[in-house]
Amino acid sequence: MAVLDLTKHEDVARFQQFVRDHDGGQVTQDPKWGELKENWGHLHLYREDAQGNITAAMAVLTIEAVPGKLLAYCPKGPVADIADVALVQSLVEEALDNLPDNVFLLRMDPEVLYDQKLDAAYQAAGFVTRNVDVTYMHGNIQPRRNVELFYDGRGEGAEVITDGEGLMHHFKSDYRNQIRRSKKDGVTVTSGRSKEDIDAFFETYKMMAKAQGITHRPIDYFYRMQALWADDPAFRVFLAHFDGQVVAAGIGFAYGDKIWYMYAGSNRAYAKHYGPYLVQWEMLKWGLQEKKVRYDFGGVGSFTPDDGLYKFKHGFAYHDPAVEYIGELDWVVDQAAYDKYLEGFAE
């Protein structure tokens, strides 16, 4: 096991390549993510085989989450064989050896499907698992229930998607019509990664947050994101244009075996032109071009039509199986601080 020295650019590049190319790779495990989260501390660990190839990687971010106590969080990681409980436990122990003494919890939420046997194995190893007993969408840091489109044809009635025609056929019929209507109305979509693209995205992002009555990140967060990935093809900002206006937008990352549709925005004044549907069409084609296995629309509260997020996302992926992850794997160091921390996740 080695601790990544961020001053050694060659080692950093190897680490980044591993978390990008591994099927389970995640943008949140890239050292750039630690730079994006500027108010968090960060630690990066990796393991090599006898030939010097990286076989596992772990990025851990730290922040004061209980007065005087640090949460250590490994977002959507580690990038490793999660079925190998002993390996993951050794990564946790190595991380704690290199973290400050006031860490009260090391939390991981890897993207592996929920499995009773695997869940029981982590519990037997001493982890607290937070999954099926957490019914509130925001009861976990990352949603456990996601809508995903699988290009490899999973799900009843699904076929392997190899081209745009197959992709379009995968959607519900009314979604196909709405995409065609958007094009007919003159909506066009561009993609890029410039600061100007971020400015245009942010206007629609603010509008959507206001319409839904939710908070949003400040623009400086997205400026930092753009600066970090400015020359990186794994990052793209998609903008839907109509009548001189940007009417919808999306931000995506291409890491591991998927495209992650991370942020969105829309102007409801132009809803009848279906800009968000055309943004999805272009982003989904990006995944096809990159030969990804899946396209991650992100989390939902439940897999039912009364959930607004699910209702929109499911129309693109209605053939695909529901995705329910194992949730949070918590290694508790200080029980009293942990109990206090969990109060913030109550419904």
Q: Do you find a cis peptide bond into 276, omega within 30 degrees of 0?
A: no
Marked catalytic residue, from 185, 285, 312, 340 = 312
124: enclosing H helix or E strand: helix 116-124
For this structure, is 8 an active site residue?
Answer: no
Catalytic residue status for 312: yes
Catalytic annotation on 47? no
Exactly one of 148, 282, 328, 330 is catalytic; name it.
Answer: 328
109 in active site? yes
Unique residue bearing structure tokens 């065609």: 180
The answer to whether 57 and 77 have CB atoms below 8 angstroms apart is: yes
Residues 6+ apart with CB under 8 A from 275: 182, 187, 240, 242, 247, 248, 266, 267
Q: Which of 109, 148, 197, 257 is catalytic?
A: 109
Calpha distance 289→287 (Å, rounded): 5
Half-sphere exposure of 66 (CA within 13 A, CB side): 19
Contacts of 310 (CB under 8 A, 6+ apart): 147, 300, 301, 302, 303, 304
Candidate list 8, 184, 210, 217, residue with the active-site label: 217
What SS3 state is found at 236? strand
Catalytic machinery residues? 37, 109, 217, 312-313, 328
